[in-house]
Amino acid sequence: MGEYLRVLTVLTSLAILAFPLAIQFAYSAGPSINIYITYDPVENYGALNIQVGFNTALNNTVLDLPLPGLGGGRYGSVSVSAGNGKPLTYSLDEERNLLRIFINESTKTVSVDAYIYDVADEVGIDTYVLNLNFTQYIGTSSFHGKLVLMGNYNTTIIQTLSAKKPTISHAENTTIIDIYEPDNYIIIASAIPEIPGAPAGGGASGTRTSAGTTPLLNPVIIGSILAIIAVAAAILYYFYKKSREPEIISIPPTELLSDDTIKEIILYIGDAGPQGIQQSKLVRLTNRPKSTISRRIKRLANEGYVEIKRMGKHNIVKLTEKGYEAYKKLKKEVGG
């Protein structure tokens, strides 16, 4: 583990030298950076907002803004606006992970919004690794990052440069990580097992025992032990995976429609009609884990059977022409 961390530190240092902070203005203090990320590791997508503040108003300026590193994640649907809410023209250099913003009116703040996806790497059952690199913001006057994970997770955070540790809290089925210094963060998130009958947020007030006796291992202790084991396994697996070429296990195209879960998904989508169906509803209808449904839908989309559209807070899944043909064949098989 120490060897991997030393390598990671060297690579991060090289990245800082090779990719210096692109925001360079004639100010005594650099800009302030506030980053807010909401992310669902199971669905593997989320949203990002960056607020950049300056001591002096900018006008008729080209701003080169480095974007946070997302490991293997990607950006989509980027929008940029000035402090008054008016949109600004920009160009995105994905190879350098750089946003070039053209500021044609006086403003002291710039806001960037984007969808992000494929940031989480599933390394075990309900265990995910996210790599967020903020080292390009070293030198700014102030920095604050907030990552909100959708769901309750036990988290382990590895960082390589800064001494100030992030703080972790939970609220309303979310895990909140506040980051105070720009650094390269590896975040291992393992879902906290739900305890039947226990109130939201943990606790086992719904568990009763005989008078005068104490259980040797209550559900909270068992859940904590399992979570610790899962996190340790995730760390080892993550670094092992990064040390070799990834092995991709998937359903071959010829066997795709023989998978029972795939069949159920296509039938439910087809039965819903041309308006499609919410992905979350498919989880309830099939009574399968969110991660299972998410992977199957992603595979169906890659093979051209379905299309996924984002509407508000929900993913809407619809059949393509190819998917509808498969739906009709499956309906005949089940006698529909």
pLDDT, position 248: 34
pLDDT, position 302: 85
Positive or negative: CA dihedral 165, 166, 170, 171? positive
Element containing residue 43 per DSSP (H, E): none
CA–chain centroid gap for 106, Å, is 34
* CATH architecture assignment, domain 2-191: Sandwich (2.60)
pLDDT, position 244: 41
Residue ranges covered by each domain of the chain = 2-191, 253-333
pLDDT, position 162: 75
Contact 314, 307 (CB under 8 A): no
Q: What are the helix and strand counts (H, E) for the chain?
A: 6, 17
CA dihedral 50, 52, 58, 63 (to 10 degrees): -60
CA neighbor of 68 nearest in space, from 17, 126, 11, 138: 138
| DSSP-derived 3-state class of residue 326 | helix
Sorted by sequence, the CB contacts under 8 Å of residue 328 that are 6+ apart come out as: 270
Contact 165, 108 (CB under 8 A): no
CA neighbor of 175 nearest in space, from 292, 38, 294: 38
Element containing residue 264 per DSSP (H, E): helix 260-272
pLDDT, position 21: 40
> pLDDT tens across 72-93, in order?
888 888 999 998 889 999 998 8
Contact 90, 78 (CB under 8 A): yes
Sorted by sequence, the CB contacts under 8 Å of residue 220 that are 6+ apart come out as: 195, 202, 203, 204
Count of Cβ atoms closer than 10 Å to residue 255 Cβ = 10
pLDDT, position 207: 34
Element containing residue 297 per DSSP (H, E): helix 290-302
Element containing residue 187 per DSSP (H, E): strand 184-191
CA neighbor of 39 nearest in space, from 176, 222, 205: 176
Quick one: residue 203, left, alpha or beta (phi over 0 = left, psi -120 to 50 = alpha)?
left
CA neighbor of 302 nearest in space, from 253, 242, 235: 253
What residues in the chain have per-residue pLDDT under 50? Answer: 1, 3-28, 200-217, 220, 240-251, 254
Query: CATH topology for 253-333?
Result: Arc Repressor Mutant, subunit A (1.10.10)
